[in-house]
Amino acid sequence: MLTLLTACQTEQKNPFFETYTTPYGAPPFDKIKVEHYMPAFLEGMAQQKAEIDAIVNNTEAPTFANTIEALEYSGSLLDKVTYVFFNVYMADGNDEMGKIAEEVSPLLSEQSDYIMLNEGLFERVKAVYEAKETLNLNKEQAKLLEETYKSFVRGGANLNKEQKAELSRINKELGLAELQFSKNVLDATNAYQKWIEDESELAGLPESVKQAAAEAAKAAGQEGKWLFTVQKSSFLPVLQYSDNRELRKELLMAYTSLANHDDNLDNKAVINKIMKLRVQQAQLFGFTTPAGFILDNTMAKTPEAVYSFLETVWTPSLAQAKVEAAELQKLMDEEGKGEKLEPWDWWYYAEKLRKAKYDLDEEELKAYFKLENVRKGAFDLAGKLWGLQFKQLEDMPVYNPEVEVFEVSDSDGSLIGILYTDYFPRAGKRAGAWMNEIAPQYVRDGVNHRPVIINVGNFTRPTADKPSLLTMDEVSTLFHEFGHALHGLLSQCTYKSLSGTNVARDFVELPSQLMENWCYEPEVMKTYAFHYETGEVIPDELIEKIQKASTFNQGFVMTELLSASLLDMDYHSIADTADIDVNAFEKASMEKMGMIPEIIVRYRSTYFSHIFTTGYSAGYYSYTWAAVLDSDAFQAFKETGDIYNQEVATAYRKNILERGGTEDPMVLYQQFRGKMPNPDYLLIKRGFLPAAK
């Protein structure tokens, strides 16, 4: 039998089996090859199983140290390879990595079940948990014990033998189904190409948009043509500016029908499989619906609380959207074409109305939003609030040449962590923007291991003669993901399972969304908004226009977002395993909520990756839930008359950013704010309530 040591010795050249010698202990991406992943996964799983067996077979009485902490520290090699593999797979994957993902997914599910369904291990965990009042634990230790015990219960430890076998089957099949959903969305996104050969079809498009499409075509070997895709940075400018109504319609319909064409990439059957498995899983634990099971472990607690909350915001949002639709229809009527407002018209006429109402042209604004400057503005903001310093590291190994790396230091020069940024779309990258850990923050044996964090986006690419110039939405997204990064970077927790963004799903968006509040404040804009050609700082009159237009089109924005949240809840309120007609289910959901036909839900079912693959199942409401928190939290700064107020910034850092999941999130929030959040601040910010005088 091959021993673990011998297995390691036979793979000496595998970087995962050696201590990283890269600066800051970052992964040596230049040395990691595809063939290194699977051996590291297998060895990592074997090592962790041996560590689990050692805990179970320990003849000493269960203690916090020999059971809870020992479990917390297990699986270091498996964590090491898992963090790297899935970060690279999401941002720069290929078919070979896809095959590894398919192979390793059921193995990781089995590994999780080996721990969560291990009767001997649970007996020890339960023994420590039941003795918790006698152990004199500090708050973080008590929270780790509570979360560990809860994870075992929610992982199936209290189920009988037959139920555990059933749960293992469900977990394995669910992992593969979710992986298939994600792969289908990526492949469908990459498969769609809209070629334009006649420039007259591009009427209304800014030169920068046409140039980007021309360069995309050239890169695809079709010089002299224009290429558009269903990446948002490609098709949204068409929806916003193109005079070609048919082109707008074609691109929007291509996007909103992703993975919904009854072909090999269709996700409707996959959704059925996922939902059946989630219903079975929830009912194994005594819950009627997946939403009941999932929300039991959140701030909201119940589906009824989420529906009630969403309805409170949905009603004024929909009412405002109807007012906006009428305004846009009036604009169309004035053109005398006899056309009715359709979803592919909304962006186009909203842009016309914005120019008419506020003399605000987003294309003009983009000239001031050079990506590198916006990123520096986010960095400078963190400097003013908390004294953080960012230094670019030129010689760090990266998984793609477009990735940049920064050392983040505190005001006293001590290391905070390392931040990677990866901002442009590519074939192997899934859509959207996100933050992730490459290595988490934790403390062990007196050593504070600082985190390695990554921000990923799909922003507008630079062209031959222009840098990457961001839209206002992309500026907000950059600040948003940077807020997540700060949550990971500033963590000061003992245990990695509680550190950084390891918090309740409906709390995790607070740090990200709070950062968005700063990005259009005049004082902040003047630190990053410089004309890319002249270097001129953004003029006061342009900032004033942005401020006046801040509540423009918010009915559309909120209705699009909230309809997706309600659709998510409707899916996860399914209580049986009968087949559903996905398109009919979605249509019925929209009709039930009163959705107007001029707006399409932000994510249609077949590409709604948030709820079917990336952990926001029965949780998409979190963005709006957190919007209440972030609006209230920013008010704490505004009330002082200083958006950089050091006392408030310090309280926020100490009570939220540094604390991770070490205490109940509402307790943490009230420790920062001194009171419960006031939802009126969100409605005021969106323009649904008058500003307080």
Residues designated catalytic: 481
135 Cβ contact partners less than 8 Å away, ≥ 6 residues apart: 64, 128, 141
DSSP secondary structure letter of residue 444: E
Instruction: Find, among 627, 672, 679, 680, the residue nearest to 645 by Cα.
Output: 672
What DSSP element (H or E) covers 454?
strand 452-456
Q: Specify whether the CB–CB gap between 467 and 102 falls below 8 A.
A: no
CA distances from residue 442 to 498, 528, 580, 651 in whole angstroms, order as listed: 9, 33, 44, 21
Cα 155–Cα 159–Cα 164 angle in degrees, nearest 5 = 75
Rounded CA gap, 321 and 598, in Å?
9
What DSSP element (H or E) covers 567?
helix 554-571
Q: Which two tokens stand for residue 114?
A: 């080996």
**Length of the chain in residues, anyone?**
693
Q: Which two tokens stand for residue 665?
A: 């999130």
Q: Specify whether the CB–CB gap between 70 and 148 falls below 8 A.
A: no
> What is the full DSSP assignment across 156-182?
TTTS-HHHHHHHHHHHHHHHHHHHHHH
Residue 271: strand pairing partners: none
Q: Which two tokens stand for residue 102?
A: 């398919």
Q: Which two tokens stand for residue 37?
A: 């992943």
> What is the full DSSP assignment across 204-247?
T--HHHHHHHHHHHHHTT-TTSEEE-SSHHHHHHHHHH-S-HHH
CA distances from residue 536 to 22, 201, 381, 497, 527 in whole angstroms, order as listed: 40, 34, 20, 46, 11
* Strand 442-444 versus strand 447-449 pairing type: antiparallel
Burial, 377: exposed, middle or buried (Cβ in 10 Å; 0-12, 13-18, 19+)? buried
Say which residue the tokens 């920062």 belong to.
672
- Alpha helices (H) along 289-436: 290-295, 303-335, 343-358, 362-366, 371-386
Q: Which two tokens stand for residue 482?
A: 């940077």
Q: Which two tokens stand for residue 367?
A: 């000239």
Q: Which two tokens stand for residue 206?
A: 């800014």
